[in-house]
Amino acid sequence: MRRTALLVSAALLTSLLPVAVARAAADDPPPVPVDRFEGEVPFASPPAGGIFTWGGDTDDPPALQLSTRSDAPEGDKVLAGTYDISGYGGFTHDFAFAEPAHDWSARKGIRFWWEGQNNGKKVAFELKDGGADGEASELWTTSFTDDFTGWKQIELPFTDFTYRTDYQPVGGIDHVLGLTETWGYAVTLPVGAPGRFAMDGVELYGRADQSLRASVTTDSVVHPVREGGTAKIKIAVATTGSAPLADPVTVAYETAGGTATPGKDYTPVSGTLTFPAGTASGAGRTIQVPTVRDKGAEAAETIPVKLTVTGAKPPAETPQVVIDAHGLPYLNSKLPVQKRVADLLSRMSLAEKAGQMTQAERGAVGGGADVTAYDLGSLLSGGGSTPTPNTPEAWAKMIDSFQLRSRATRFQIPLIYGVDAVHGHNNLVGATVMPHNIGLGATRNPQLVQRTGAVTAAEVRATGVPWDFAPCLCVTRDERWGRSYESFGEDPALVESMETIIQGLQGARNGKDLDRDDKVLATAKHFVGDGGTAYGSSTTGTYTIDQGVTTVTRQQLEAVHLAPYKEAVKRGIGTVMPSYSSLDVIGDGLGPVKMHARADMIDGVLKQKLGFDGFVISDWNGIDQIPGDYASDVRTSVNAGVDMVMAPYAYKDFRTALVAEVQAGRVSERRIDDAVSRILTQKFRLGLFEKPYADTAGASAIGSAGHRAVAREAAAASQVLLKNAGDVLPLRTSQKVYVAGSNADDIGNQSGGWTVTWQGASGNITPGTTILQAMRKNSAALTYSKDASAPLSGYDVGVVVVGETPYAEGVGDVGNGHDLALSAADQAAVDKVCAAMKCAVLIVSGRPQLIGDRLGDIDALVASWLPGTEGDGVADVLYGRRPFTGRLPVTWPRSQAQLPINVGDRAYDPQFPYGWGLTTLTEVPKGGESTLKALGAAASRAERAGADGTGRALVAEARLIVQQRAAGRMTAAVAGPFADADHLLLTGRYGEAVAKLTQAYRAA
């Protein structure tokens, strides 16, 4: 993502040199220099002050230099550069974050010298306004055309700048170009052909008049009112810097236009409001618009209130009163949902239906006018797409503002807003961040997993979001996949057992709980086979496996990848998202086909065979990967069964194309009606027609002690004890402990990707407890040295916390800048500590890491996965407050050459098998093989009697016996049956599971 920023201190520059006044009006103040490009500001990136470049990929940023030129318009040097941009690119002049922002409100605009190339292309110029710093401010943009040759002074009045709606790094602050806290400027260069440029003498010029310094605002653009009620529109004046008005401001108003009929639906009003000179900033007046009750049933009707402003900047949009729809059957909450859907659908136009099938990114719609203009059915926040500030209150306010826009549509169909809350409400700073799914799979605790889903749902819904793009039901089959941690495991039976999370999110299977303020609509993703893509098959950028091709027989597809979706449909999942990947079913003659285009799977299997009655939502621009032009992408995906298309920034193009395809007969109206019926059904079930706005009653529980206690328990249960020679673990509080490693004290690393931002980040990104902080609470004597450089003598035990740094999706693919080996720094920390004392190594990662020949030097080894924000859960098992009970959800390989390796493989010789996990819970039963024989007989009886709890307990006892015998001498003969036993356990075959464990015992 591009980041633009700040400016050098005008005061500082003024003190450094005299500046000539150029072309100033007689009464204008002297210009204020911003940038001379004489070397006074370095090339440097935020948070330092300086000039930096950016671009869409590695070759898009321009090459810049300060060049000495005899023809420099100002001084001796100019900023010169070359570029060859395919996506986007440009440069920014940043003001150091440690210094205050600048007040430019007294000036008319900004100007600079530009050496024209006469290429006829537009050059965008951008300001950053308001906020905490250059990375948390609004972007305002204008442009000029390079249609001249040689030097020309470009003047850009501040009145020409408009709010950027295509991208806002912070989501917008107040949508007002205040200019009292200006952080910087940026230049976006032309794309498509190589070019060069030169720039000089950036300065502020002119004097701002009141029409810039003062503005008229309304409390809202949309003012819904019940028929017969009186709408009240609040009009206020605001001035930059909050100074009183210097001159009077008048606002003439009149009701005119719209779909409501004057006299019949409302009483027309007109008049003038006057704000005299000296009026305080923020002062307001009220316009009242009475409506008329005629008792007839009808759709919503609009009454625009035209405002003519003198002496100030008018509102960006004309406010309008909306007389709410009333008396129509679909509005009757006592009717069955099916009848409400049928009534509403019968009234809608094709364009309105297409709007319901369209989902846009909230950053693309700006203030939300397009929600109304295009009848949009849905908005989403992509990873890291958040309001400013990133608080529960700001989320609710933002979503309510978008929802208000939907009230101005004919049938007032509410938006459904979605987020990727994949391990808690992870976009929200301060939310409870759960372990990622890979850790939840390690818990083998469906009830606990359901509770994590319930906490997530409660926190998500309390911010006004009714829809969660989770859970991921992928079955990960190759740990080189950058999404491995989004999977519950490699065994479809394990994934199925963890689908209790759906009830945690949605509640009852029949959807009756969806209108509760602590439940959300869930999404099963990514249908189908995303976890089975072959290494090297991806064609997406530099990805190696994500979004690649899954090649399977029909039997393998059914048994491995499709099985979790059968369970999800049984559990009443509300939505399903297709995968970016392609599916190649051996023998069907189709070859690899993108899942968004597979009608046989989406419509044929998911909807027809499995009976899925929710709606299918595409992935982010997912239809764009279908071969062909955009019109072809639209009709192919919709005809395949995709009901709503996530077209984040191309929502207008999608809606237009869909309407055209229907009108041309290439997409049937029946298919459209089916899609819209499915969408409307879920909106009714969610109660959005009755309660479209955020219910924030549960907001006080976000990140609460009670919610974090659930995350803490899940983190503890997810810890898998792989080795424990000499019973190094659990630790004793009296021991002197030496802690080292890159992931011991990093909340960002232990939370992983999809935390606050899409890719996640290292560091203190959200409130929580690191593993080190949690250990300090339990230890009487603890020393921490990240790189193990502190003296190593005199300690009872060392704990080295190592592993991965955050990533998401294909960015984390092995071969795309990642591998499965520990970093050199982590390896050095392990080697130092484990050579000096007894040691326990914790691996914080989204997938197994290769330990290699270091395992012999490590006394205790723990797979900690990505435990989330509650490091106390990790400390709980380290210090014996809770027992280790986690088991491997995936196979732990000896080397990368073994990949892919999974339970059930014919060749299976891992470092640790699927299902492995030592425990500190109970004593290991005595008696060896004779005890196993008795356990097997009892397990078979339990299986026949349907006594699942007893059967699972008996298998657990057998596992303990085998693990004690096999620890330290794992062979293929032991690993294969041991892993098979865990699969059999999950499928309820307890007697066979003990038989397999007995086989492993004999082999050990």
Residues taking part in catalysis: 619, 809
Whole-number Å distance between alpha carbons of 697 and 387: 20
Whole-number Å distance between alpha carbons of 553 and 560: 10
* Structure token pair of residue 129: 């306004």
Residue 674 one-letter amino acid? D
Distances (CA, A) of 753 to 346, 485, 811, 833: 44, 9, 10, 29
Look at residue 92 and give its three-state secondary structure: strand
Q: Write the Ramachandran bin of 811: left for phi over 0, alpha for psi from -120 to 50, otherwise beta.
A: alpha
Q: What is the phi/psi pair of residue 524, to 5°?
A: -85, 125
Residue 433 one-letter amino acid? V
* Structure token pair of residue 133: 């710093």
Best CA proximity match to 886, nearest among 494, 502, 501, 425 = 494
Q: What is the phi/psi pair of residue 241, to 5°?
A: 80, 5
Whole-number Å distance between alpha carbons of 42 and 79: 12
Residue 832 one-letter amino acid? K
Whole-number Å distance between alpha carbons of 16 and 39: 12
Whole-number Å distance between alpha carbons of 269 and 290: 9
**Nearest 5 degrees, angle CA 426-CA 429-CA 431?**
60
Whole-number Å distance between alpha carbons of 455 and 442: 19
Instruction: Note the Cα 962 to chain centre separation in Å.
Output: 43
Burial 210-236 (b: 16+ CB within 10 A, else e): bbbbbbbbbeebbbbbebeeebebebb
Burial 83-108 (b: 16+ CB within 10 A, else e): bebeebbbbbbbbbbeeebbebbbbb
Whole-number Å distance between alpha carbons of 423 and 617: 20
Whole-number Å distance between alpha carbons of 527 and 674: 20
Residue 936 one-letter amino acid? G
